[in-house]
A and B are shown apart, each in its own frame.
Chain A
Amino acid sequence: MERLWRVIPVVVTAFAAAFIGWMIQMLRLSWTRNDSWGFTVTVASVVIPIFLVFVWLAVYVMWGIAREGLRENRPGDPAPPRPRPGGTP
């Protein structure tokens, strides 16, 4: 199960890469066909940075949290959840 912690950020990054790839494909088409280059560049240059932020989110936040979850306990860490009286429903 712990392996899946890595899968989620990888999936997010892969999706962002696919989307950016699509944008590049449309830029390429627009260039080769000489078709509405201005629109294509404008939209792509707005959207690609947003997806780079999602990549940052996957790497810094998600991967970072998962890495913290895997490392050894350190003094000062919160105690593991205490068992609840009466057991779990």
Chain B
Amino acid sequence: MARWGMVIDLDRCTGCQACVVTCKAENNVPVVTPREAQRGRLMLWMTVIPEVEGEFPRVRARFTPRPCMQCDHPPCVKVCPVQAMTKSPEGTVSHVFARCIGCRFCVQACPYGVTYFNWQAPTWPKDLREALNPDFAIRPTGVVEMCDFCHHRLQHAREEARADGREVRGEGEYVPACVQACPARALIFGDLDDPNTAASNLAHSPRAFRMLEDLGTSPKVYYLKEG
């Protein structure tokens, strides 16, 4: 069975935020007003963390795209009281909105802060509302939501593969929206257990590291250090 994972090449990331915008559109992530965003209610399943290092003139900016880390030992799944947060047999962590009671324990448990709570009923400006993705449910107020590697895309790919009587290929057939949108090819997606995929090869590169690796969460999102 495939073990889907992502590799993010920090050397290639330009900080353009195409992944952020695509993710919002693909997953129908609600849009909040600037005032609410100021209050910390911004929802970005995929976000780019900008960091500025050093003093002038030796300044350098660094951009770190941050999807859900898709841990192999996910702290959010452990603490969920109703099994709304689940890990599939393939290792992908996803969240069942219809089950969520809104206790926000997963929000506290996640050391990466990738879970988002719907503080208000979701809203979109009119033209964005017309462009909502019909493949993905809209969440009600009062539940948590988060990145699940575009699980609906996996379902599509699986249906097509099943029509041909085979498994989903480890590379190319199923990619999350952010990976597809990245113009710099900084995001690489594939089966980490398949030695022939680029993702699994890069995950074993000496440049590879994972975020807060020492916590023991074993993320399936690898970063490649800047050279």
**Touch between chains A and B, by CB atoms below 8 Å:** yes
Tell me the count of chain B residues lying within 8 A, CB to CB, of chain A: 2
B83 CB-CB contact with A under 8 Å = yes
Q: Beta-carbon contacts of B179-204 to A below 8 Å, as 1s and 0s? A: 00000000000000000000000000
Tell me the count of chain A residues lying within 8 A, CB to CB, of chain B: 3
Instruction: Give bound CA distance, A3 to B83, whole Å.
Output: 44
Majority secondary structure, A binding face: loop
Q: Which B residues touch A35, using CB under 8 A?
A: 83
Count of inter-chain pairs, beta carbons less than 8 A: 3
Least CB distance, B159 to chain A, in whole angstroms: 25
Shortest Cβ distance from B87 into A: residue = A35
Instruction: Tell me the residues in window 56-88 of chain B with beta carbons closer than 8 Å to chain A beta carbons.
Output: 78, 83
Instruction: Give bound CA distance, A35 to B83, whole Å.
Output: 9
Instruction: Tell me the residues in window 76-108 of chain B with beta carbons closer than 8 Å to chain A beta carbons.
Output: 78, 83
Shortest Cβ distance from A33 into B: residue = B83
Least CB distance, A32 to chain B, in whole angstroms: 12
Instruction: Give bound CA distance, A66 to B78, whole Å.
Output: 47
Residues of A within 8 A of B (CB): 33, 35-36
Residues of B within 8 A of A (CB): 78, 83
Q: List 3 A-B contacts (CB under 8 A).
A: A33-B83, A35-B83, A36-B78
